[in-house]
Amino acid sequence: MRKKLKRVVVLTGAGISAESGLGTFRDKGGLWDTYDINEVATPEAWAKNPTRVLEFYNLRRDLVIKAKPNQAHIALSELQKHFDVHIITQNIDDLHERAGSKNILHLHGEILYAQSVKCDKPLFEIKDGALKLGDCAPDGSQLRPNVVWFGEPVPKMPEAEDLVRTADYFAVVGTSLNVYPAANLIYLCPPEIKKFVVDLNHVPASKNIKVMDFRGKASEKVPLMIEHLKNLQDLSQ
DSSP 163-226: HHTT-SEEEEES--S-STTGGGGGGTS-TTSEEEEEESS-----TT---EEEES-HHHHHHHHH
Q: What is the mean pLDDT of residues 29-43?
A: 77
pLDDT at 31 over 70: no
Task: Show which residues are catalytic.
Answer: 108
What integer best gives the mean pLDDT of the chain? 90
Which pLDDT does position 24 carry in this prediction? 62
pLDDT at position 32 is: 56
Using CA atoms, how far apart are residues 165 and 9, in angstroms rounded to an integer? Answer: 9
pLDDT tens column, 158-178? 999 999 999 999 999 998 887
The pLDDT assigned to 176 comes to: 81
Taking residue 140's Cβ as centre, other Cβ atoms within 10 Å add up to: 8
138 touches 98 (CB < 8 A):
no
Query: What confidence tens digit (pLDDT) does each residue in 62-75 have?
Result: 999 999 999 999 99
| Percent of residues, the chain, with pLDDT higher than 70 | 91
pLDDT at 1: 46
Between residues 127 and 10, the one the model is more confident about: 10
Q: Are 126 and 61 in contact (CB under 8 A)?
A: yes
Domains and CATH numbers, the chain: 1-22+70-108+155-237 (3.40.50.1220), 25-66+112-147 (3.30.1600.10)
